[in-house]
Structure 1
Amino acid sequence: MTLLGPLTRAAALAGLLLSAAAGFAPAVAAPADVALLKSYIGEWRGRGVLYGASEESVVCRLTLSEGNQDKVNYNGRCALAGTNLSVAGTLAYVEANRRFEAAMTSNATFTGIAVGQKRGSGLIFNLREREQDEEGKDLNISAQIQLSGDAIQVTFDVVYIESGDNLRAEVPFSR
């Protein structure tokens, strides 16, 4: 079993707060799409569990605020076993791609863009990436962020290609 170091756990936490920062081209979204994104503006708190070689509690805060050009900005922080992770980004409907996108940067050098789809009255963002950890080991990373009603649910998985070891986090957020 691979021992998961602080940077690997930080990368996992980065996925938890996945929701965007890279610059987008100006987006022109339908009013309903913009209203859906903006309905999540506010302060969010999450508490969940990171499963791996052991179980660890994860405590997170997430702030969504109005951005430029019909975007929603976010800033978040998670704490796990003495490790802090910060993420920042933007949620938007990108007309050129005809889809919702969430892009993210973090202090754990993890970046990514998740594609979002409407599901009922909410949104689901999915991310799939291949990265390397601090020791150069290949990882498959997948994350799902579900915005539904007055809740946000984040699920994040890291699988080490060589060993098959898995790191999974589940954090429900509420206002």
Structure 2
Amino acid sequence: MTIFGPLTRAVALAGLLLSATAGLAPVKAAPADVALLKSYIGEWRGRGVMIGANEETVVCRLSLSEGNQDKVNYNGRCALAGTNLSVAGTLAYVDASRRFEAAMTSNATFTGIAVGQKRGSGLVFNLRERDQDEEGKDLSISAQIQLSGDAIQVAFEIVYIDSGDSLRAEVPFSR
């Protein structure tokens, strides 16, 4: 079994905050789509479990604020086993693509764009990426962020392609 190192855990935490979540330029978003994004502006807290070789508690906070051009900016931080991860990004409805998108950068060198869709009265963002860990091993990274009602739910998984070993986490956020 692969032992997950600090960089792998940091990438996992980045996914949680994006996944939470999370430089797009919408031209002219529909008012209802902008209102839906802005309904999540505020301070969020989350606590969950990351399961890999061991089970560890993950504690996160996430701040969403109004950005330029109908965007919502976010900044987040998670703590896990002495490792801290910070992420920042933008949520937007992009008219040119006719979809919601979340862009993210992190202090773990992980970046990505998640595509969002309306589901009922909320939004679901999905991210699927391939990357390598600090030892050059291929990883499959998937994350889902659900914004629904007055809650945000983040689910994240890293799978080592060669061995099938995995690291997964779920973190519910509330205001």
Under a length normalisation based on structure 1, what TM-score does the superposition of the two structures give?
A: 0.98
Q: State the match for 1:95 in structure 2.
A: 95
Report the alpha carbon displacement of residue 54 of structure 1 after superposing the two structures with TM: 0.7
* Residue matched to 2:70: 70
Q: Which amino acid counterpart does residue 68 of structure 1 have in structure 2?
A: N
- 2:148 matches 1:148: yes
Query: In 2, Cα distance between the equivalents of 1:168 and 1:147?
Result: 19
Distance (whole Å) between structure 2 residues aligned to residue 78 and residue 95 of structure 1: 32
SS of the residue corresponding to residue 44 of structure 2 reads: strand
Shift of 1:31: 0.3
TM-score normalized by the length of structure 2: 0.98
SS of 1:163's equivalent in the other structure is coil
SS in 1 for 2:96: helix
Match of 1:14 in 2: 14
How far apart, in 2, do the equivalents of 1:139 and 1:60 lie?
23
Equivalent residue runs for 1:77-156 within 5 Å: 77-156=77-156
Q: Quote how far apart the aligned CAs of 1:156 are.
A: 0.2
Query: What per-residue deviation string (whole Å, max 9, x for no partner) do you get for residues 11-53 of structure 1?
Result: 0000000033xx1234311000000000000000000000000
Deviation track 1:97-117 (CA, whole Å, cap 9, x = no partner) reads 000000100000000000000
How many Å separate the matches in 2 of 1:162 and 1:138?
7
Unaligned runs of 5+ in 1: none
SS at match of 1:24: coil
Matched residue count: 173
- Uncovered stretches (5+) of structure 2, i.e. residues with no partner: none
Aligned-partner SS, 1:12: helix
Counterpart Cα distance in 1 of 2:151 and 2:164: 32
Structure 1 runs (4+) greater than 2 angstroms displaced: none
One-letter amino acid matched to 2:3: L
- Asked whether the 8 Å contact 1:27–1:70 carries over to 2, the reply is no
